Every structure is written in structure tokens, then in C-alpha cells.
Structure 1
Amino acid sequence: MRDHRSEKSGAVTGRRARGELESSVLAALWAAEEPLTARQVLERLSGNLAYTSVLTILSRLYGKGMLVRHPAGRGNAYAPVRDEATETAVRMHSLLERGSDREAVLSRFVSELSREDEQLLHRLLGEQDTGRDDDGQ
């Protein structure tokens, strides 16, 4: 059975940017207090999405190791492997590792921070320093 909610006169309209739907699905799962089925995820997303599109995204995220799934009725319920802050930190670290000049990347990153974020970063770095021994570990 096809879900025609996302089809409009055969024209392609309202296409999401690459990765936007994955991000939306992850955001819905992070906001939930328990694993969600594809139908529950669909209910939490805006726009006219097809149920099968949500199933496809959940399957892709599961295949990437970003979700775990648990049997739920005739289907599965999904939950993120990591919380949002951890996932974002992993992505940031991955991007940093790809750069050829870490100092330039970090310098540019810090220069683009708001004053509040810069102060927060200084505070967090200070807390990290107090937790290390004399060898920097």
C-alpha cells in the first residue's frame, strides 16, 4: 500500500536537503524517552512524508550503527546508540581528523564562536586541565 501524502501531481516539490531527513529522524528519537516505531517517528516529523521513507531512513541509520532496534509488535522500535551531544562530538572530531592543518581548523573554529561559547570553551578547558596529572594525562 503506497502512501500518497508526499506526492503532488507527479511533480517533485519540497525536497529535503541531503541528510536533513536523517537529522530529523535522529532528533525525534533523541527527544523521545523510549524507543519509537516507524509510525511513531512519522507522527513526530513535520511535512508530508511517506511511511516507507521513514522506514528507509531508520534502516539506513541502523545499518550505519547509529540506532539499535528492538522487536515491537509486528515491527521494530528504534533508539539512538549515542545521545545527541556525544554524536555531535563524534562528528566534530571526525571532521577535525580529516583536515590537513589541525591548528588552522581549530583556530578558525574558535574565531567563529560567539562570546558566550568562547567563555564556555575556556571554562571547560580549565576543568579539563585540573583533572590531569603533571604528565598531561
Structure 2
Amino acid sequence: MFGLGELEAEAMEQLWSSTDKLSVHDLVDRLSTSRQLAYTTVLTVVTHLHQKGWVEREKRQRAYFYYPSRTREEAVFSAVRAMLDSIDDSAAVLELLGPTLNQAEFTALTRGWARRVS
């Protein structure tokens, strides 16, 4: 998902689905339902997510509690926006979106794309 590794994506899913900030212990418990994970492995994953800007953290006594820095929807939008910004070929965009668009949407998209690249 969005340039994240498999375990990073699973950790993000757990953080997005929680209404509370989660400690590494919380994440170990939640992620260990599908496989056995070491505390240090999960700590490394959330540290990387923090460094990448995906999560924020709050220190409580000796432990950090992690929470997403943006919603799942914002992350999806950013990923799609980055992908579209990297495409220089309108044919590629139309190939990607064309089958899902009605004629009016298709016309608006091609007009908008023509203005963007001109």
C-alpha cells in the first residue's frame, strides 16, 4: 500500500482502525493474530513510519503511543495524486480512468488534461 512494506501497511491499518493511540505492545498484540512478531520488530516498523511521516507519537512516561498523521482517505488521495503527477502521457491516464468514466466525465478529463499540459 502506497509505497509501504507489508508489515508497515498492516501497522497502519491497525492504527487507522483504532480510536486510541497505540503503544508498541498494543501493536504487537494486534499484529500477532496472524503471525508471531517480536517487540523490537514492531518498534522498528513504527519508528520507520514515524521517520517517513506516516505516524505521530506521544510520550507517556517511558513509552511512546502512536497514531496516524493523516486519515486513510488522505493517504489514498496523496498516493493517487503522486501517481497522476508522475504521468506525462495523457493516454496512460485515459487508459487508467477511461473504462470507469461516462462520456461527460471523459470529455471533462481530456479537456482538463489538455489545459494542464499546454
TM-score tier after normalising by the smaller chain length: 0.7 to 0.9
Distance 2:64 2:46 in 1: 10
Aligned residues: CA RMSD: 2.0
Report which of the two has the higher share of helix. Answer: 2
Q: Distance in 1 between matches of 2:26 and 2:16?
A: 13
Alignment partners' CA distance in 2, 1:66 and 1:36: 14
Question: Which residue does 1:106 correspond to in 2?
Answer: 93
How do residues 1-137 of structure 1 correspond to structure 2 at under 5 angstroms?
19-45=5-31, 46-101=34-89, 103-111=90-98, 113=100
1:73 to partner: Cα distance: 3.4
How many residues get paired? 99
TM-score (norm 2): 0.74
What is the CA–CA distance in structure 1 between the aligned matches of 2:99 and 2:62, rounded to whole Å? 48
Runs (4 or more) in structure 1 with deviation over 6 Å come to none
Q: Which moved more, 1:80-89 or 1:69-78?
A: 69-78
Deviation of 1:112 (Å): 5.6
| Unaligned segments of structure 1, at least 5 residues | 1-17, 126-137
Give me the whole-angstrom Cα distance separating, in 2, the residues matched to 1:110 and 1:76: 42
TM-score by structure 1 length? 0.65
Which has the higher Rg, Structure 1 or Structure 2?
Answer: 1
Partner SS for 2:58: strand
Unaligned runs of 5+ in 2: 109-118
Three-state SS of the structure 2 residue aligned to 1:69 is strand
Counterpart Cα distance in 2 of 1:88 and 1:37: 24
Greater RCO between the two (CA within 8 Å, min separation 6)? 2
